[in-house]
Amino acid sequence: MLKVAHLQKSFNHKVVLEDASFDVQLGQVIHISGENGSGKSTIFKIIAKIIKPDAGQVQMTEDSVIGALIENPGFLEFESGLTNLKFLAQLNKRYDENKVKQLMTDFGLNPNSNRSVAKYSLGMRQKLGIIQAIMEEQNIILLDEPTRGLDQESLAHFVQLVNQLRSDNKLVVIASHDFQAGLKYDFKYRLKDGVLRSED
Ligand SMILES: Nc1ncnc2c1ncn2[C@@H]1O[C@H](COP(=O)(O)OP(=O)(O)OP(=O)(O)O)[C@@H](O)[C@H]1O
Ligand SMILES: [Mg+2]
């Protein structure tokens, strides 16, 4: 369960969030849309406790583990993709090398490649960012523009991955400008003028 209630956030007296609320459950896939600068990433940062809201609450069950891809994920540029994932996972000691290698392979990344992340394309970086958000059995997964730079084949794999997460009873919240063909969303929200509204 993830419940966000009446979030408010201003930056330098400019109101970005005026009232953002939603109440969603494990096993759901949620979509949040909104124009550039509407506050989508800000909501994710508040849920992931990167920043604090001025008002409002975020509640989740005690067993919640958040995985997040927000804006442009930072990596150790001169290390390989696998080394980066190993480093990120070891921060909370849930690293399972076989699982991480499998996730990379399934997404078209070679886990045995020594190519440094500095030489990764945008799409390859996105894949690494998606993998780090799901590789440790996180059950609340926040994906901010996850499909940026993904080619057709990778998009198809992304859809499959999200559907798998849903059947594994994870909650996936996707912020994006477009709806991903092949994905069924349980709830769609639109963020406009600081207010999050349910669509349909
Ligand atoms: N740390 C910050 N300091 C000042 N202003 C900020 C900060 N973070 C976000 N903002 C402002 O808050 C507003 C919302 O930004 P946010 O990144 O949440 O939008 P977004 O919906 O994710 O946009 P995009 O679709 O471009 O990713 C923008 O006007 C942005 O400039
Ligand atoms: Mg954003």
Residue 111, classified by CB atoms within 10 Å of its CB into exposed (0-12), middle (13-18) or buried (19+), is middle
Residue 89's pLDDT is: 83
C-alpha 11 to ligand 1 mean position (Å): 9
Ligand 1 nearest atom to the CA of residue 38, by list position: 21
Of 80-94, 123-137, 180-194, minimum mean pLDDT range: 80-94
pLDDT at 94: 77
Residue among 63, 64, 72, 27 at smallest CA distance from 48: 64
With 70 as the cut, is the pLDDT of residue 9 above it? yes
The predicted-structure confidence for 75-95, as pLDDT tens digits, reads as follows 999 999 999 999 888 776 778
Q: What is the pLDDT of residue 114?
A: 96
Determine the average pLDDT of the residues in 7-32. Answer: 97
| Average pLDDT value for residue range 17-21 | 98
Q: Is 167 in the pocket of ligand 1 (CB under 6 A)?
A: no
The answer regarding whether domain 2-74+130-198 maps to CATH 3.30.70.60 reads: no
Distance CA(51)–CA(42), nearest Å, equals: 8
pLDDT, averaged across the chain: 95
Burial of 98: CB neighbours in 10 Å, binned 0-12, 13-18, 19+: exposed
| pLDDT digit string, tens, across residues 152-176 | 999 999 999 999 999 999 999 999 9
- Per domain, the residue ranges of the chain are 2-74+130-198
Question: Which of 12, 33, 40, when mutated, tests ligand 1's pocket best, judged by the most ligand atoms within 8 Å of its CB?
Answer: 40
User: Which pair of structure tokens corresponds to residue 46?
Assistant: 């508040």
Q: What confidence tens digit (pLDDT) does each residue in 92-116 have?
A: 677 899 999 999 999 999 999 999 9
